[in-house]
Chains A and B, each alone.
Chain A
Amino acid sequence: MTLSARSSLGAVAASVAGALRTHKIRAVLTGGACAALYSEGAYHSRDLDFIVVGDATRTEMDNAMESIGFVRRRDRYVHPRARFYVEFPRGPLAIGGEYRIRPVTRSTSHGRVLMLSATDSCRDRLAAYYHWGDLQSLTVAAWIAARNRVNLATLQRWSTAEGAREGFDRFVAETSGIRRRKAPRRARR
């Protein structure tokens, strides 16, 4: 697939994931790009953070990224046409104190992407809310939960372990609010 200025985040994610797969590099899409995909456009991100799980040299990564037109500028890969850039933050793949993360393969119209599950993407945003008080992250987490199936029991357990029980209650309230606003009105008799 040739990337252009009109390529969507999903298209770029699938293209990068495909190139990494071809070059036998196992990497998981995390962070804001994941949240943007799960929130179905309610949140926008211009950077794609992939965490490499396993071994890959800088040269192997450069080769994989160059195969789809990305070039490295310091620690960031940029494309001459696509609006999005790609980074590979150092691992391990962890969210707050939880490092036993099971990524999922999501099929999109552009291809397969190995990424955080909706529950983990939610946790990723909630970590920013719990530890930095970032309200935007709370809203995004609620959007993800309202638009996807997430495991609330897991979220609650993890939130308690992060010392954020009250934060979790606020997240649940926020999610319910979004669901109510989203719910179709009943037709009048």
Chain B
Amino acid sequence: MMVTQSSSPFGGGTRTRVLLALSLLGESYPRELSRVLDAPLSGVQKALQSLELDGIVAGRSVGRTRVFQLDPRYFARDALKQFLRRLTEPEVGLQKQVAALRRRPRRTGKPL
């Protein structure tokens, strides 16, 4: 069996993967991140909370949902984005997961 192990330069593995997912998605919410990363919701929420405390991600409320993105006010945001972009390159699985997400709008009431 082949085991692939990703590096975790941002502390825990979930913290790093949350950042990678956010860099690909632009913005997202905990449940979506949990689905994309196939990680427990509580772990994703915890990772987001600690990244928010570090000032790396920022969350805002949209209705009852907390939507997160890389904090555009973070002083090293450009370098961080570049680093994350590089880190996502070998993450083919994650890229496929993100690409499979439907994010375009859908008229209210239109049947699936």
Contacting pair B60 A96 (CB below 8 A): no
Contact residues in A for B53 (Cβ distance below 8 Å): 75, 89-90
Contacting pair B60 A132 (CB below 8 A): yes
Contact residues of A: prevailing secondary structure: loop
Contact residues of B: prevailing secondary structure: loop
The answer to the question of A172 belonging to the interface, with a C-beta cut-off of 8 Å to chain B, is no
Contact residues in A for B75 (Cβ distance below 8 Å): 92, 94-99
Q: For the complex, what is the distance from the CA of A71 to the CA of B73, rounded to whole Å?
A: 30
Cβ-closest 4 pairs across A and B: A94-B75, A131-B72, A99-B75, A127-B73
24 CB contacts below 8 A, A to B, read: A75-B53, A89-B53, A89-B55, A90-B53, A90-B54, A90-B55, A92-B75, A94-B74, A94-B75, A95-B73, A95-B75, A96-B73, A96-B75, A97-B75, A97-B77, A97-B78, A98-B75, A99-B75, A127-B73, A128-B73, A131-B72, A131-B73, A132-B60, A132-B72
Contacts A90-B53, A90-B54, A128-B73 aside, 14 further interface pairs with beta carbons under 8 A come to A75-B53, A89-B55, A90-B55, A92-B75, A94-B75, A95-B73, A96-B75, A97-B75, A97-B78, A98-B75, A99-B75, A131-B72, A131-B73, A132-B60
